[in-house]
Amino acid sequence: MNRQRIFSGIQPSGNLHLGNYLGAIKNWVKLQDEYDSIFCVVDLHAITVPQNPEELRKKTLEVAKIYLAAGIDPEKCSIFIQSHVSEHTELMWILNTITKIPELNKMTQFKDKSVSSDVSNISIGAGLLNYPVLMAADILLYDTNLVPVGEDQLQHIEITRTLAKRFNKRFGETFVIPEPYIQKEGMRIMGLDDPTKKMSKSASSEYNYIALTDDEETIRKKIKKAVTDSGSEIVYCDDKPALKNLINIYSLLSDTPPKEIEKKYENKGYADFKSDLADVAVSFMKPFQKKMKEYDDEKVLEILRQGAERVRPLAKKKLEEVKKKIGFVI
């Protein structure tokens, strides 16, 4: 079948949370039936900031288990570990040679991460600056048509498009120019402690997110402590961003339209709403975590190895084409 291809991935760092699931992975499950899908655990991206080696290994397999438990089907798509396909880093180096330093310096995520608490006490590495070039290599290596991203990643897709066009102009048509695949606004899940910022696995407070590995007691505690807006009415509107975010989580986990939720809690207060939201979250999380436990490490590793074997010929072919174009001896 001549279907369009999508590529996406998540870093094995921090704790994957409901925002990652609702904003990305849940949608990937739907997309895998419509597109030629490649999903990656991007461990090379993770080491752009310091990582504990044992924790990185553990988190890499945990992310893969989350993909599988969520419904990503290795029979329908390719799932692999980024570092298992060396062509990613080879293409990144080549793309580095046509990337301009000012283009990287203006990346919003680089500016944000370079002053964040986890890197503020060390020298900023070149890897963090070059992060978008590696992301471009990930995407361009597979002739990707569409990249499912949030608005915060649009800058990275734009530089990917810029590099692809620049290479094509200089060396001849080589790369497909990818397009961003933007999710609906409702899929943007904000922090439980700050509705103005996205839920983040690297947040300083664990009360920012609900991790996909949190137990029932922790989930209930976090939802109970989640910030709300002034007043007591359960209404879905921009004027109540904290409540709107909680309703979005409720809606996406229960497949209930926000306006129905609003109606359900007419004349009820935040306590009733939060208690029921906790029930909805726990009802989702228990079977999800049960599925995760069904995958032992060896089984997951075999799936990841098979995924790498499936995509490697695509990566090898594209990299050889690139090398020939730039004048390398093959």
For the chain, the domains span: 5-182+297-326, 206-292
Please, what are the averages of pLDDT over each run of 10 residues along the chain (330 residues)?
Answer: 89 90 90 96 94 95 96 97 98 97 84 57 77 96 92 86 98 96 70 91 88 95 92 89 94 92 91 95 95 95 98 98 97
| CATH 3.60.21.10 describes domain 206-292 | no
Longest alpha-carbon distance in the chain: 74
Task: Share the mean pLDDT of the chain.
Answer: 91
Report how far residue 117's alpha carbon sits from residue 109's, in angstroms, rounded to the nearest whole number: 14
- Mark whether 26 is an active-site residue: no
Strands lying side by side in the sheet with 179-182: 78-81, 36-41, 5-10, 146-149, 179-182
Q: Catalytic: which of 30, 76, 106, 198? A: 198
Q: What pLDDT is stored for residue 106 in this prediction?
A: 87
pLDDT score at 231: 82
Specify whether 184 is catalytic. Answer: no
Task: Quote the CA–CA distance of 191 and 202 in Å, as a whole number.
Answer: 11
Contacts of residue 235, Cβ cutoff 8 Å, sequence gap at least 6: 243, 262
Of the residues 58, 76, 106, 113, which is catalytic?
113
- Inter-residue contact 133 to 96 (CB < 8 Å): yes
Q: What amino acid is encoded at 126 in this protein?
A: A
| Domain 5-182+297-326 and domain 206-292 have a common topology | no
Q: Would you state the pLDDT for residue 184? A: 61
Between 1.20.1260.10, 3.20.20.140, 3.30.499.10, 3.40.50.620, what CATH number should domain 5-182+297-326 receive? Answer: 3.40.50.620
The pLDDT value recorded for residue 124 is 76
Look up tokens 């089907």; give the residue: 73
Choosing from 59, 201, 222, 244, the catalytic residue is 201
Beta bridge partners of 211: 17
pLDDT digits (tens, 9 = 90+) for 222-262: 999 999 988 888 999 989 999 999 999 999 999 999 999 99
Q: What is the pTM assigned to this prediction? A: 0.90
Residue with tokens 């590696």: 134
Active site residue 197: no
Integer-rounded Cα radius of gyration of the chain? 21
pLDDT of residue 107: 82
What length is written for the chain?
A: 330
Cβ atoms of 243 and 234 within 8 Å: the answer is yes
